[in-house]
Amino acid sequence: MTTEDLIRTGYRARVANTPDGRTMAEALVTVIMPARNAAGTIGKSIQSVRSQSFKDWELIVIDDASEDRTAEIVKWFIAKDKRIRLLRLPKWRGVAAARNRGLDLARTRFIAFLDSDDAWEPQKLERQIAFMMESGTAITFGAYRRVDVEGNTLGVVVPPTKVSRRMMLRSNFIGNLTAVFDRQRLPDLRFKPVGNEDYVFWVNALEQLREPVLATPGATPIARYRVAGDSLSGNKINSLRWQWENYRRNLGFGLVRSSFYLTSYALHGLIKRRPSKDA
């Protein structure tokens, strides 16, 4: 059944109650976008959401105390599209806190994330929501294209068709910009203020589920991840240091086990960064 079929048969009108008594619209997706001094990139990111073939979404932009024209640009889009909302934080809180504020404001069953310098392909949400309804997976994710600041392809990352918590200990197979999760299945999921916070988020999700989750079928990229020289996630040394801390402190692993998984994580990271043949 396609997404259009679900909406056509009245699926959108049905609601479910969350554990805290809120009403959650079942066929609506909330897109959470944290932003910090993103005036140069956020327009393209927002437009990629507006260009989705799946129209039943809301976008919540969390402006993390930006000092540039980020909020002004978002307000320009709000004037054109009432599905977009803006929350401005009075002082810098960090990406984990910003995403958590978005989760606080979301009132939908399905949640997706997009950073203010990344972008989606037009069929992304349509393919994923239909697949989640058909398969019953609580989380889905997919292939994405790594691009430079000019938009040139650096490589394509294609995840495994199925990911378990044990697999995630070896590498982050769930690209945050490609993921959608079902909040009915994971109502209390939150980001922690740690390095590689998205990795910890999905590991915790898999621990709660106690079952594997499925990739959206197909190797065609559904998103574009922008690799910038000054981006936090682009700093390989920091990333490995944060990952070591995650294994040792957040997951409680010993030295030998942490060393084993960090080696695997580093090797998979090199594979991700391998240039594409058509780049």
Of 12-26, 147-161, 192-206, which gets the smallest average pLDDT? 12-26
Report the C-alpha gap between 196 and 207 in whole angstroms.
Answer: 17
Contacts of 159 (CB under 8 A, 6+ apart): 141, 142, 143, 173, 174, 175, 215
- Model confidence, pTM: 0.86
Of 109-113, 128-132, 234-238, 257-261, which gets the smallest average pLDDT? 234-238
Of 42-51, 207-216, 259-268, which gets the smallest average pLDDT? 259-268
3-class DSSP state of 88: strand
Residue 14 pLDDT class (50, 70, 90 cuts): very low
Position 9 scores a pLDDT of 46
Per residue in 121-135, pLDDT tens?
Answer: 999 999 999 999 999
Of 15 and 161, more confident: 161
pLDDT at 193 > cutoff 60 = yes
Per residue in 99-118, pLDDT tens?
Answer: 999 999 999 999 999 999 99
Average pLDDT estimate for 228-244: 69
**Both ends of the chain: CA-CA distance in Å?**
35
Report the C-alpha gap between 52 and 243 in whole angstroms.
Answer: 34
Report the C-alpha gap between 86 and 42 in whole angstroms.
Answer: 13
Residue holding tokens 């004037």? Answer: 79
Per residue in 61-76, pLDDT tens?
Answer: 999 999 999 999 999 9
Q: Are 184 and 118 in contact (CB under 8 A)?
A: no
pLDDT at 229 > cutoff 60 = yes
AA identity, residue 262: L
Of 185 and 19, more confident: 185
